[in-house]
Amino acid sequence: MVPVRSRTPLLLVCGLVLIAATGCGGGSAALMGREGSRPSLAAVAPQASLDPAPFNAVLQNVVDGRGLVDYAALQRDPAQLDRYIKALGALAPERFASWSEVEQIALLINAYNAFTLRSIIDHDPIRPSIKAIPGVWKFRRHQLMGRSLTLDAIEHEILRKDYNEPRIHAALVCAAISCPPLRREAFTGPALDRQLEDQTTRWLASPVGLTIDRAAGTVRISSIFQWFAEDWQRADPTAAAVPGHQKQSAVLRFIARHRPAEERALILGGDYRFSYLPYNWDLNRQSP
């Protein structure tokens, strides 16, 4: 969820799936065994998805309607979270590789969010900001499919690199006030499109996603759209230009699609001063 200054070495994701004679040169898409990269797995029938029930229980128990988290309660009773994290570590790469793309994306989002929650409650007292945890994105490691991966590796080397789905940025939660709201249910393959649409709509309806001041003639959007602008450009490479804001056209058209008609017309008209919102890194915790 933080901007990438240096990509996590590809060696971190090598071996997520055993690949005979291909090594790591084919990129992390091959490592994850996605369609077309593993002929030996292409004909394998999809295996059962990972049961999200333990993670659902966590989210329903400690996340409120605003997406804020009762970290103290989770710290007192992390059993369900740890049960789910244990299952993530034990998940067979071949099982993951048999799933559809939406199932894979859902699992990786859930893993990222679960590991983030665990990172926060591992500190007593709980830190006021995730940024106060040294190495939380780049060095702290988590077990996923038998591999030791950082949060940055999951986000930047797998999710962003292998899947052309910018809506993940409305679902990956970095435990900060300015993050999109943490959802009170786990993501699943069958519901992923609906869930990502709902996440995006909720995020852009909040002041951490988008603010429009008609009187001042300004439109301000989350800094996430600046950090990861290339993801929206890749998803919509032929986006029609928004007058006066050509470089941001793919992002602005994405935002406009998720706003009411009146705001959509304003955003696409381009007659405003454009900027990015400051990012509040205070912990997304519920008030005591």
45-66 pLDDT per residue, tens: 889 999 999 999 999 999 999 9
pLDDT at 135 > cutoff 90 = yes
In the structure encoding, which two tokens stand for residue 161, read together? 């690199």
pLDDT at 16 > cutoff 70 = no
Confidence at 287, pLDDT banded by 50, 70, 90: confident
pLDDT at 33 > cutoff 50 = no
**Helix pair 249-257, 261-269: axis angle to 10 deg:** 170
Which residues have CB under 8 Å from 268's CB, separation 6+?
A: 242, 252, 253, 256
Confidence at 28, pLDDT banded by 50, 70, 90: very low
Confidence at 3, pLDDT banded by 50, 70, 90: low
Which pLDDT tens digit goes with each residue over 210-244? 999 999 999 999 999 999 999 999 999 999 999 99
Q: Which of 3, 1, 32, 29 is nearest to 16 (CA)?
A: 32
Residue 193: strand, helix, or coil: helix
Which pLDDT tens digit goes with each residue over 140-149? 999 999 999 9
Cβ neighbours around 77 below 10 Å, total: 12
Instruction: Please state, rounded to an integer, the average pLDDT across all residues of the chain.
Output: 89
pLDDT at 270 > cutoff 70 = yes
Q: Residue 102 has what pLDDT? A: 98
Q: Residue 43 has what pLDDT? A: 53
What does 54-123 look like in DSSP terms, one character per residue?
HHHHHHHHHB-TTS-B-HHHHHH--HHHHHHHHHHHH--HHHHHTS-HHHHHHHHHHHHHHHHHHHHHTS
Strand arrangement of the beta sheet that strand 218-221 belongs to: 210-213, 218-221, 273-276
Q: Residue 52 has what pLDDT? A: 98
- Percent of the chain beyond pLDDT 90? 83
Which pLDDT tens digit goes with each residue over 82-132? 999 999 999 999 999 999 999 999 999 999 999 999 999 999 999 999 999
pLDDT mean over 249-271: 98
pLDDT at 26 > cutoff 70 = no
Average the pLDDT over each of 11-20, 31-40, 62-71, 151-160 and give the range with the smallest value.
Answer: 11-20
Contact 269, 243 (CB under 8 A): yes
- Residue 244 gets the label, from left (phi > 0), alpha (psi -120 to 50) or beta, of left
Side chain identity at 18, as an amino acid letter? L
pLDDT mean over 256-276: 98
Q: Residue 127 has what pLDDT? A: 98
